[in-house]
Structure 1
Amino acid sequence: MTVRRSGLGRVLIVALTGVIAFSWAAAPAAADPDDEIGKIEEEIEKEADELEGIVEDYNAISEDLAKTKSKIKKLEKKLAPYEEELDELYDSTEGLATAAYKQQGLSEMSAFLNAGTPERFVDRITLLDGVSASTAEIIGKIVDKKAKYDEDLAVLEDLRVDLAESEELLQEKKDTITEGIEGLQKDRKDAFGPDAGYVPDYIPGDRGKIVSQAMAQRGKPYVWAASGPGGYDCSGLILDAYRQLGINLPHNAAAQYNMSMHISRDQLQPGDAVFYNGLQHVAMYIGDGYVVHAPTFGDVVKVEPLDQAATPYYGAGRFI
């Protein structure tokens, strides 16, 4: 019996085999460190998008593989009684087959054993002395059922092999891309320079855009009532970051808090706003217990630990 490979497995294997090799270009040296960081972030974004697709494909393959394995187990369980019944029948007919060999010769016995289809098997087994037509018919039905189940089992097993191969290839590509992104994240942190202090990993998507915009303002002076590009006050820095997404926030910390969805401290994600001192100050959470903010007159936009940026902590808010 010839079993065809599943279309899904075949397509995935062909597609993935050609893309396992993965490389990324090192960020070119640039006079403007922000430009270098931007190029690295673009590459991370690109690879993160590809990784997201690979992960979804991997999850789908894993689910299909689990379902196929379950089908194989059910079919094997269903086959078990027939296997036992066939064994008993083979045992009971062993004497008849031996007698046929002695009485009718090797050529006749070979014809019997190689009947091919269950129908021909029934026709030929009735030629053996001592086998009734009803017994032959029962044996033929069992052989027929066994043949059909064997065929189904072979198809499922072939699909399982295809899916397992695709899963392995997807895992390999997933690992390769992940390793590449980790290298790019390191390059990005290095590009910020030794004086940067804490630098969060780049976050693809809208939250990443917000954090990147705020981080790009580091070192710029605190300017009252300013929202960039030359300087910022605390709420102006948050306003400017969210403006990149087309989200218009008021230029006031208390008003921003009232506009936000209030969240607990343990729910903070990069890009969320952190409020202090009775809503007199606001900063942006960037991960790992750090915020970026515009502190006060005579200072610059900087990164600091959440609990050292200002006091006392008031609450947190989310806009996306």
Structure 2
Amino acid sequence: MAAHRKPPQRPLTGHTVRTAATLALAGAATVTCFDGTGHAEPQLTPAQVKVRVETLYREAEAATEKYNGAKEEADAAQRRLSALQDQTARRRMRLDAARNALGSIAAAQYRDGAIDPAWQLALSSDPDRYLDGAAFAERAGDRQAAAVSRVRGQLREIERLRGAARIEVKSLRSRQAELRRQKRTVTGKLDEARRLLGRLTPRERAEATADAGAPAGRVSRSAADPRESLERAGSVLAPGGRAAVAVAYAYGKLGSPYVWGATGPNAFDCSGLVQAAYRAAGLSLPRTSYAQINAGRRISRSELRPGDLVFFYPGISHVGIYVGGGRMIHAPNPSAPVRLAPIDQMPFAGATRVV
């Protein structure tokens, strides 16, 4: 019966090794190319870059408004904390004064010996004079009790202020953490937008960042040339003195750069421009777009007149100042300066009349 032996294996020759390596590389390439696990970033077309950049700018602006709101709250918490610290310092001064008064009374009693009043009356050579003095001592005791009460009251008030300050410190830290989160979100999205735009040619970048209301391939003349907009400013008549001042201020800022978190005088974000325009008109508006929409009377689109605030997107993340003729002045995004634009270029979310 023949033995079943394993056939001897031939050693790998150089040709065999090269063939095996080639097949292995081909298999790896097949996995990379066809199973979707490759890490190469897909090459976007200019049109796809435009859509993605617009989305990133919109998301960054929403985060910017949240940052602005958190900063406003953090600033308010800081002001409250500073006021509490000032009150605590004043209370400490009053406490020191009350303690000094109490110490003076105690020192006087120590000097007088604090002898029992019955013995003082019995030993006195002039009872009438003693009784007058006893009445004075009783009044001094009342003053001592009042001084003790004042010290206790100051201590209670200082403890109350310390408790309030601890709450404000906690609030301030929470707001500061929110500021850092929103800042990371904004800068991350803006960095990604810059990276995408950096892949394009100058012409493609111009098309990707063009005014959405202008024909493809060029920026609208009204957005690109602030001087022409200023020449038209005289034809825009805003009702009411403050609205007119705000509109004139906005016209005067055409061409100013967009900088997230900025409120002027040389750079703005969307709500910062609106706030600055009405600040110039003597009216204080909230810092964020989602707060500004509630700063006045809501109006319909058909009621719009120059000076009204117009808001966009479901989250009320963008705002502009209506100037008439279906147009507004707004601070769009980092790729475009303050400019005139049609209000139809973004999803309309509402309008408010603040004066």
**TM bucket normalised to smaller:** 0.3 to 0.5
Q: What TM-score do you get using the length of structure 2 for normalisation?
A: 0.42
Q: What TM-score do you get using the length of structure 1 for normalisation?
A: 0.46
